[in-house]
A and B are shown apart, each in its own frame.
Chain A
Amino acid sequence: MRSGIGYTVVLLALSAAVISGGGGQDRSGPAGKADPRVGLKPGFRDAGTASWNMELVSTLPKPPGFFDPKAPSGLETRPEKESKPEKESKEEKKKSPAAPGPDALDFANSDLAFRGEHLFIGNFHGFNTYDVEDPRRVRLIASVVCPGGQGDVSVHGDLLVMSVEQTRGRLDCGTQGVTGSVSAERFRGVRIFDISDVGRPRQVAAVQTCRGSHTHTLVRSPQDTRNLYIYGSGTSTVRSGEELADCVGKEPKDDPNTSLFSIDVIQVPLDAPEKARIVNRPRIFADAATGAVSGLWPGGDHGPGTQKTSATDQCHDITVFPDAGLAAGACSGNGLLLDISDPVHPVRLDAVSDHNFAYWHSATFNNDGTKVIFTDEWGGGTRPRCRAKDPATWGANAIFDIVDRKLRFGSYYKLPAPQTEIENCVAHNGSTIPVPGRDIMVQAWYQGGISVFDFTDSTNPVEIAFFDRGPVDARRLITAGHWSAYWYNYNGHIYASEIARGLDVLRLTPSEHLSRNELEAAVLVREEGFNAQEQRRVAWPASPVVARAYLDQLARSGSITPERAAGVTAALDRAGRVGSPRDGGAGALAGRLSELSRALENEAAAAAGHDAGRLRSLASTLQGIGDSLR
């Protein structure tokens, strides 16, 4: 999240001519009917809800200490003026509170991380730990007060890492803020907690950085298993060199040692995390030819003879995909693709800009590492940007294919249901759902709720499930809604942090868009931990349910004959009864599966696109099942 204004605009300006025709996405909602997300009843605890192909399993409010007891829903911010009749606006002014409590943002829930049965919810005020072993009965284990925002969290073993950017942050986790513009008590950077006693975390390290840490990313090096690496992304003001040595807030032309135009690479020795320190500040925006640190331009062509200046001087968020040696950086004015085979020295492979993008905010790879979804946080997250009048190409996702280690634009995806003036809404954090044969993402849209969409075809994303609540208040925009919504494969549920309302647990229900077999295949590969910015490739075992998931997909697209599908189904039914090579009929069944596998390989050779891949995957899955019977 950002405060919600500036970049609004980059977009409006540069693209005024472009948008009028833009936005090919259909906004008619599920099955073309009136979208049930429109017109939901407002309420903090009793808002109306709408869901499609998913359901709310449980919900938990924020614990005491993490909201203002006098205003649990938070301090209000107003809807944009144009939406209000003048008279009403005057009445509201009279009712404005005279003695404000704490600022609502100071207690906002933020990002999530997982380890085993434990869920960690970051908050601008600290973090909370829950036990999610039973998703219907989520239990609070620990409330840890340590302010500094945004409080994004990640977990590695017994270490929990947290981002701190605000100038009120203190080394000692105090709530009293910091006196003095230069202070040894202030903390902005990356905190590290020992969570070996999960009910009682201890702070073991606090790595100070010049711009603080807005977000961070854990990076494991295959060559260097004794250290954990952290990419710290700072986006706010550079502190003075008097408070922290070597911090320089000047532009590169005024001081080449500027703290702008870099990220922080922090090394954490796993056997001595208290010795964590910055080991590099790579100039990932540098111009390769000139070496100028500010080599990227976000807004299009310079034209000959123009000055080499750049707006991209920070990354908002970096997502790594170590299985492919890649990282995707969402870096204010650009989307970056980085080679991280040496984590300490990331190398830029490509940089893209987009005239519809206001602020490159976050990045998510698909499971194969062949696509990246970048989000555009137009309006910063606190403003309503999903109204019917807002273009479907602004504040949306942009889906890119990775072709020859370069990014190639496919299409945009934006929440298809229009939201009100009093719901802050824009693309925000999500994760993939590991359904074999498809690319599916679940994503939070603040008060736009949660949307699940298929982007297997990068030029034609399609929504397949959603959950939404009405606005917090009937008349005023109160900053709230889902910050992050992630699929956690420990028990196959979706966990979503709600800025003001707390924690939501949801599950997908089988539908024409996602079969029971596909859902069961998704939960087959159990995860023991999850950090959204640290993606791993899922490989599915040769299991009948995986084969059935491919079969359902081929049937859905009409890419398999009914006879072939019946033959495969019959063989899989038999495989369900024949468990091992010692069982009767195992040899014959193995032969039958091999035969089907060869036939499907031949059909794949004649097919095209995603279905060719699914036929091949089905063939190799059947072969694998057959092999297990020999």
Chain B
Amino acid sequence: MQPGAPGGPTRDITAAEAADLSEVRHTPADVRFMQGMISHHAQALEMAALVPSRTARDDMRALALRIEISQRDEIEMMREWLEARGAQVPGEHDHHAHGDSAMPGMLTAGEMRGLTAAKGDAFDRLFLQLMIKHHEGALVMVRELFSSPRGGQEGSIFAFASDVEADQQMEIARMRALLASTGKEPQP
């Protein structure tokens, strides 16, 4: 059976009607979000890979490791999601083909070169600034998804996008704290 709006009557429906979710299948915006986020995450992995050889701080290495492990696992999950729905799965480096400004928060080729060339404290500050911007871009992508027609309503993508938002907000907060401490004594 199916209740009505608050105060309204409950009516009987068939099992076939009950299981009919044909209108909450994934949308083209969902697919674009997943495809775009794979490329977005891939750049975060490239950035994180620069950290171990350029920083002197253990907390920066821990941050990079955290980003690497989480975003690699998320890329795997996004690929599974796209494959299961017969959609095209972009390669990790496809963002170059789409153009550097395709996704919000993505670094330009010039910014990436600048980061690659930096060392020590200067690298730490630049990395944090750029990664905060990068993460904020992911938040913009989530908001765009949810504001698209019927975007993010299927169960898996709702849960994934919600978690991306919560997790990246959390990492932004951590990175702001790290940024405030750059140039000072490394934290224990």
Chain A residues at the B interface, C-beta cutoff of 8 Å: 1-10, 12-14, 16, 63-69, 75-78, 80-81, 93, 96-100, 102-108, 124-125, 142-147, 149, 165-168, 171-181, 193, 200-206, 235-237, 239-240, 249, 251, 260, 274, 294, 297-299, 301-303, 305-307, 309-311, 313-314, 332-333, 380, 383
| Contact yes or no, A9 B69, CB < 8 A | yes
| Contact yes or no, A171 B5, CB < 8 A | yes
Closest Cβ neighbor of B85 among chain A residues: A100
> Are A5 and B9 CB-contacts (below 8 A) given A106-B21, A177-B153, A303-B181?
no
- 22 A-B pairs in the complex with CB atoms less than 8 angstroms apart: A9-B73, A16-B65, A67-B19, A78-B76, A96-B86, A97-B86, A98-B86, A102-B25, A145-B13, A166-B155, A174-B2, A179-B149, A193-B3, A203-B6, A274-B6, A303-B184, A303-B187, A305-B181, A306-B177, A309-B174, A311-B170, A380-B159
| Contact yes or no, B2 A168, CB < 8 A | no
- Looking at the complex, which one of B62, B149, B155, B174 makes contact with A106 (CB distance below 8 Å)? B155
Pick from A3, A77, A174 the residue with the most CB of B within 10 Å.
A3
B125 smallest CB distance to A (angstroms)? 14
| Contact yes or no, B69 A8, CB < 8 A | yes
**How many interface contacts (CB-CB < 8 Å) are there between A and B?**
258
Looking at chain A's contact residues, is the secondary structure mostly helix, strand, loop, or mixed?
loop
| Contact yes or no, A167 B80, CB < 8 A | no
A201 smallest CB distance to B (angstroms)? 6
Kindly state the separation between the CA atoms of A235 and B164 in the bound complex, as whole angstroms: 11
| Contact yes or no, B167 A175, CB < 8 A | no
> Are A3 and B15 CB-contacts (below 8 A) given A100-B86, A305-B184?
no
Pick from A149, A203, A251 the residue with the most CB of B within 10 Å.
A203
| Contact yes or no, A171 B6, CB < 8 A | yes
| Contact yes or no, B150 A179, CB < 8 A | yes
| Contact yes or no, B7 A204, CB < 8 A | yes
A165 smallest CB distance to B (angstroms)? 8
| Contact yes or no, A301 B188, CB < 8 A | yes
Kindly state the separation between the CA atoms of A54 and B3 in the bound complex, as whole angstroms: 38
| Contact yes or no, A332 B150, CB < 8 A | no
Kindly state the separation between the CA atoms of A297 and B176 in the bound complex, as whole angstroms: 12
> Are A201 and B65 CB-contacts (below 8 A) given A66-B18, A306-B177?
no
A73 smallest CB distance to B (angstroms)? 14
| Contact yes or no, A149 B155, CB < 8 A | yes
Q: Quick one: which of B119-165 are within 8 Å of A by CB? A: 142-143, 146-165
Closest 5 CB pairs of A and B: A65-B18, A6-B167, A13-B66, A105-B155, A3-B159
Looking at chain B's contact residues, is the secondary structure mostly helix, strand, loop, or mixed?
helix
B32 smallest CB distance to A (angstroms)? 15
Kindly state the separation between the CA atoms of A552 and B1 in the bound complex, as whole angstroms: 50
- Chain B residues whose CB sits within 8 angstroms of the CB of A66 once the complex forms: 18-19
- Chain A residues whose CB sits within 8 angstroms of the CB of B154 once the complex forms: 103, 106, 168
B173 smallest CB distance to A (angstroms)? 4
Q: Quick one: which of B18-41 are within 8 Å of A by CB? A: 18-21, 23-26
- Chain A residues whose CB sits within 8 angstroms of the CB of B62 once the complex forms: 13-14, 16
- Looking at the complex, which one of B20, B150, B163 makes contact with A380 (CB distance below 8 Å)? B163
| Contact yes or no, B73 A5, CB < 8 A | yes
> Are A173 and B2 CB-contacts (below 8 A) given A5-B70, A6-B74?
yes
Kindly state the separation between the CA atoms of A375 and B75 in the bound complex, as whole angstroms: 26
- Chain B residues whose CB sits within 8 angstroms of the CB of A7 once the complex forms: 70, 167
| Contact yes or no, B1 A203, CB < 8 A | no
Kindly state the separation between the CA atoms of A302 and B74 in the bound complex, as whole angstroms: 28
B110 smallest CB distance to A (angstroms)? 29
Kindly state the separation between the CA atoms of A310 and B159 in the bound complex, as whole angstroms: 22
Pick from B10, B63, B146, B168 the residue with the most CB of A within 10 Å.
B10
A127 smallest CB distance to B (angstroms)? 10
Closest Cβ neighbor of A11 among chain B residues: B66
Kindly state the separation between the CA atoms of A41 and B96 in the bound complex, as whole angstroms: 46
| Contact yes or no, B147 A240, CB < 8 A | yes
- Looking at the complex, which one of A64, A125, A172 makes contact with B8 (CB distance below 8 Å)? A172
Tell me, yes or no, whether B77 is within 8 Å of chain A by CB.
yes
- Chain A residues whose CB sits within 8 angstroms of the CB of B187 once the complex forms: 301, 303
| Contact yes or no, A5 B160, CB < 8 A | yes
- Chain A residues whose CB sits within 8 angstroms of the CB of B85 once the complex forms: 100
A452 smallest CB distance to B (angstroms)? 29
> Are A332 and B158 CB-contacts (below 8 A) given A178-B153, A201-B10?
no
| Contact yes or no, B2 A146, CB < 8 A | yes
| Contact yes or no, B3 A237, CB < 8 A | no
- Looking at the complex, which one of A69, A77, A165, A240 makes contact with B77 (CB distance below 8 Å)? A77
Tell me, yes or no, whether B97 is within 8 Å of chain A by CB.
no
Tell me, yes or no, whether B100 is within 8 Å of chain A by CB.
no
Kindly state the separation between the CA atoms of A12 and B68 in the bound complex, as whole angstroms: 10
B97 smallest CB distance to A (angstroms)? 22
Closest Cβ neighbor of A185 among chain B residues: B5
Kindly state the separation between the CA atoms of A600 and B188 in the bound complex, as whole angstroms: 52
Kindly state the separation between the CA atoms of A168 and B24 in the bound complex, as whole angstroms: 7
Kindly state the separation between the CA atoms of A102 and B153 in the bound complex, as whole angstroms: 11
Tell me, yes or no, whether B117 is within 8 Å of chain A by CB.
no
A4 smallest CB distance to B (angstroms)? 7
B147 smallest CB distance to A (angstroms)? 4
- Chain A residues whose CB sits within 8 angstroms of the CB of B46 once the complex forms: none
Tell me, yes or no, whether B169 is within 8 Å of chain A by CB.
yes
- Chain A residues whose CB sits within 8 angstroms of the CB of B5 once the complex forms: 171-173, 203, 206
> Are A307 and B176 CB-contacts (below 8 A) given A80-B73, A149-B155, A171-B6?
yes
| Contact yes or no, B166 A332, CB < 8 A | yes
Closest Cβ neighbor of A69 among chain B residues: B19
B127 smallest CB distance to A (angstroms)? 15
| Contact yes or no, B1 A145, CB < 8 A | yes
Kindly state the separation between the CA atoms of A399 and B175 in the bound complex, as whole angstroms: 30
| Contact yes or no, A65 B176, CB < 8 A | no
